[in-house]
Amino acid sequence: MKNPFDLTGQVAVVTGSSKGIGRSIAEIMAAMGAKVVVSSRKADACEAVADGIRKAGGDATVIPCHIGRKEDCEALVKGAVAKYGRIDAMVCNAAVNPYFGPLSGISDEQWDKIMESNIRSNLWLANLTAPGMAERGGGTITIVSSIGGLKGSAKLGAYAVSKAADFGLARSLAVELGPKNIRVNAIAPGLVKTDFARALWEDKANLDKRLENSPLKRIGDPDDIGGVAAFLASKAASFITGQVIVADGGVTIA
């Protein structure tokens, strides 16, 4: 029996993959055999990741993309297809959070930036990749969301709203695209030690509280999420769609 976790032959596009969770996803998928498109706003940061993948024996290319710009998303998909001929797995990982505070203080510009980058860009990328996937008999779309979407927040309210919306987006896309053998899922990480979440895990009081409430007594590492994304793109997950996979060390069940 062929290894159901093997990604050999797949082409994966991972947004926000120059560091953190996105970088782990790209590296793990490449290690499992996928050809990977590394993408973020800064080409030089992406090239460092792609070079590391190549040195480890993998296949990677760089296509910069600002997810808030539709033309960039279009160029990302077009460039990936031009390079590798197809896209089998689209991983929508890039996200922003330009505001920390109560919803009563958020500006329209900050709200729009969060919703455009964290939700609308995922819809763009899904709509851009789904037709090609359908022509080839299927594919996967994975949205990296957050456990922030499972509850309210006094300081990260807008971000939480966007992440909750990603759950709904994944479910609706799964229903729509399922007949075309395109699986769509979301991942909801807990607190992970990344630059993006640095303000949360460097806050000792917040970290101590999180550890106290975590059955595993630790916060996450990017590789804790990278493996989940790789799994969802594999044959091992062929009967999973429309789901939110929570990877939080048990915080939400404690």
- φ, ψ for residue 169 (rounded to 5)? -60, -45
Q: Could you tell me where the DSSP H helices lie in the chain? A: 20-31, 43-55, 70-84, 108-115, 121-135, 157-177, 198-201, 204-212, 222-233
Contact status, residue 186 vs residue 244, Cβ threshold 8 Å? yes
Task: Work out the number of other CB atoms within 10 angstroms of the CB of residue 151.
Answer: 9
The type of residue at 127 is: N
In whole angstroms, what is the distance from residue 97 CA to residue 99 CA? Answer: 6
Identify whether the C-beta of residue 158 lies closer than 8 Å to the C-beta of residue 190: no
| Identified catalytic residue from 159, 177, 184, 188 | 159
Catalytic, 159? Answer: yes
String of b and e for 215-252 (b: at least 16 CB within 10 Å)?
A: eeeebbebebbbbbbbbbbbeebeeebbbbbbbbbebe
3-state secondary structure of 246: strand
Q: Just list the catalytic residues.
A: 159
